[in-house]
Amino acid sequence: MAKSDLQGTLDLLVLKTLSQTGALHGYGIVLHIQTASDELLRIEEGSLYPALHRMEQRGWLSSQWALSETNRKAKYYKLTAAGRKQLETSERDFEQLVKGVRAMFRYA
């Protein structure tokens, strides 16, 4: 059984984003998800932050204050080894979920 829910999906998106881009601040993550999903996925921007902090507490992410490309102080997040592992698990779980949902649709 694959474990997946909406929160899990947001985590997966964040982890995937950071694995593709390296270090990024919260706003950058929002923009990346939007462009990478061809504007299909839009998240409530504020709700990203509790998720980021939770993932950092779990040791999946590490953070550091740095200057952004527009010379603004921003907090940058980056995957840890544990985060990379979590990404693999989440991806697998998500594939399972998608497969399961597809199967349901075919059956109906």
Partner 1 sequence: MSLFRRMWALGSRARIDREIEDELNAHIQMRTADNAAAGMPAAEARRDAVLRFGNPTAMKERVAGVDTALSIDNLWNDIRFAGRRLRKSPGFSITAILTLALGIGATTAIFSAAYAVLLRSLPFQHADRIVTISETHPQIAGGGEVTFPDYLDWHSQQSSFEQMAGYSIVSPETVSLVWDGHAEQVHKVLASSSLFSLLGVKPSLGRTFVEQDDYPNANHVAVISAEAWQRYFGADRTIIGRNVDLNGVSYSIIGVLPPASAYPATGEFWMPLSLMDKESQASRVWHTVNVLGRLKPGVELGQAQADMQTTAARLARVYPATNRNIGVLLTPLREQLVGSLRPAVLSLMGCVVLVLLIACANVANLLLARAAAHLREVAVRQALGASRLRLFTQSLSETLLLCLLGGVLGTVFASFTLPVLRMAFAHTAGADPSLVQSIQLNIPVLLVTLVVCLFTAILFGLLPMLKTPRKLAEALRPGDRGSTGKQGRSRSALVSAEIAIAIVVLFLGSLLLRSFQKLIRIDPGFRTDHLLSLEITLPQPRYEDQAATTSHFYEALIDKLRQSPGILSVGTTNAVPLNASHSMSRFLIAGAAPLAPGAFPFAQIRYVSPDLFRTMGLGLMQGRGFELKDIENNANLFVINQAFAQRYLSGRDPLMSSILLGVLSPHPDKIPVIGVVSNARDLGVETDEEPELYLPGFGTHAVILLRTNIDPASVAAEVRDAVRQLDPNQPIYHVQTLDEVLSDSLARQKMTAVLLGIFALLALTLASIGIYGVVAYSVTQRTREIGVRMAIGANRATILLLILREAVALTGIGIVAGLVGAFVCAHFVSALLFQTSSVDPLSIGVSVFALLIVAMLAAVLPASRAATINPMEALRSE
Q: Note the residues at the interface with partner 1 (CB under 8 A).
A: 25-27, 30, 44-47, 49-50, 53-54, 56-57, 62-64, 68, 70, 72-75
CA distance 65 to 80: 16
Smallest gap, in angstroms, from Cβ of residue 78 to partner 1?
9
Q: Which is nearer to partner 1, 67 or 98 (CB)?
A: 67
- Pairing type for strands 73-79 and 61-67 reads antiparallel
Smallest gap, in angstroms, from Cβ of residue 26 to partner 1?
5
Nearest to 77 by CA among 62, 57, 67, 60: 62
Read off φ and ψ for residue 62, nearest 5 degrees: -125, 155
Smallest gap, in angstroms, from Cβ of residue 91 to partner 1?
24
